[in-house]
Amino acid sequence: MTSNFVLDPPTGHLADRWGQKKLYIWGLVCWGASMFIYGLGNHLVWFGIAEFVGAMGHSLQSGALDSWLLNHTSEEIAHGTLAKSGKWTHWASIPTAILGGFVGAAWGLKWPWLLAGMSSLVAAILIFWLTRHLPDEIACPGEKVSLGSMFSNLKITSGEMLSNGNLRFVIVAAFFSNLAFQPFNMFWPPILKEVQIPQFLLGTVWAGIALAAAWGSDLAQSRHLPPSRMSIALIVGGIGLPMLATTLFRYNWLLLGLFLAHEVGRGSLGPVLFTYSNRFLAAEKRSESNSIRSSVQTLGAALGLLLSGILSTYISPVAVWGLSGALLIGVSFYALLSCFPPRKE
């Protein structure tokens, strides 16, 4: 997370100057290389190298393809494509995880990593070949890139985002939402085990998570959830309410249902938040601005992990879920109230 927090803004800056599609493809190459290092490395040093190379690959990809798509199509097409890609990504995670488990059990744990690396490299080659005729216009042609100019531009862009009320709203909502999501990611295995969900089902809950998130991504392209503050308020509230309710209803199947229900909202939030925020971004700074937002989200996630770990030493994990749910409801009210600006006297 630290690497992504640091690397996201500079790589976004480079994407606007060197080409978003180009950097996305290089991100796939770096990601694939990190998978090979994970699989072949046999020392802690190699693990550290793999983590850094993987973080670089993730940062190069982060927001690059989405920004490129939005710069070359309409908002409606880009939003629908992002929602569909989210749905199919969640669907695809189920068979690929099962395949990885079988491969690891049959031939050794290094082979799932090697297959992931090969898949990433094949994806990079296919994208390069299939999109070679599509434009990858440089948003800032002729601008020389240096360390000084990079930090100067990032400082200016960050200031512009904070001074824009709409983008400031997105930053606040994204930061606190990602902070609140972390206990849900960390604590569901021990909580579901504690409420006596059958052991043989615990291993399949991740499939339910993927299906619920895929449904949420599909809902994001419906006319009922247009990219707006009101939609963001409804989605975040729809995530927070079930998780707050888990503190009141400790029955095993009901608690599992509430947990899966919150995943639907999480599947919807990404596309809606991205499309709404990009209405207020200039094309020549789109990747840079999106990467700054991504960095803020990563910071929120890191703080969420730290705080939830500390809180769990004093209160139960379900109580931490409840606090996170309450925080999300607060974010939802903040988004809802921002839809109605105060009247001038």
Region label for 228, one of left (φ > 0), alpha (ψ between -120 and 50) or beta (otherwise): beta
pLDDT exceeds cutoff 90 at 228: yes
In whole angstroms, give the CA distance from residue 218 to residue 80. 9
| Residue 268 dihedral angles phi and psi, to the nearest 5° | -80, -30
Instruction: State pTM to two decimals.
Output: 0.88
% of the chain exceeding 70 in pLDDT: 95
CATH code of the domain occupying 2-338: 1.20.1250.20
Q: What is the pLDDT of residue 143?
A: 67
pLDDT exceeds cutoff 60 at 306: yes
In whole angstroms, give the CA distance from residue 264 to residue 212. 5
- Radius of gyration (C-alpha) of the chain in whole angstroms: 21
Interval 167-178 mean pLDDT: 95
Q: What is the pLDDT of residue 119?
A: 93
pLDDT exceeds cutoff 80 at 204: no
Exposure b/e, 199-218, CB count within 10 A at least 16 = b: eeeeeebeebbbbbbbbbbb
Q: How sure is the predictor about 278, in pLDDT bands with cuts at 50, 70 and 90?
A: very high
Interval 274-283 mean pLDDT: 92
Q: What is the pLDDT of residue 17?
A: 82
Q: What is the pLDDT of residue 194?
A: 80
pLDDT exceeds cutoff 90 at 7: no
In whole angstroms, give the CA distance from residue 61 to residue 26. 8
Q: How sure is the predictor about 1, in pLDDT bands with cuts at 50, 70 and 90?
A: low
Q: What is the pLDDT of residue 173?
A: 96
For all residues of the chain together, what is the average pLDDT? 88
Q: What is the pLDDT of residue 345?
A: 42
Identity at 117, one-letter amino acid code: G
In whole angstroms, give the CA distance from residue 273 to residue 228. 8
pLDDT exceeds cutoff 80 at 196: no
pLDDT exceeds cutoff 60 at 85: yes
In whole angstroms, give the CA distance from residue 44 to residue 283. 42
User: In this predicted model, what pLDDT tens digit does every residue of 102-127 receive, in sequence order?
Assistant: 888 888 888 889 999 999 999 999 99
Interval 2-12 mean pLDDT: 81
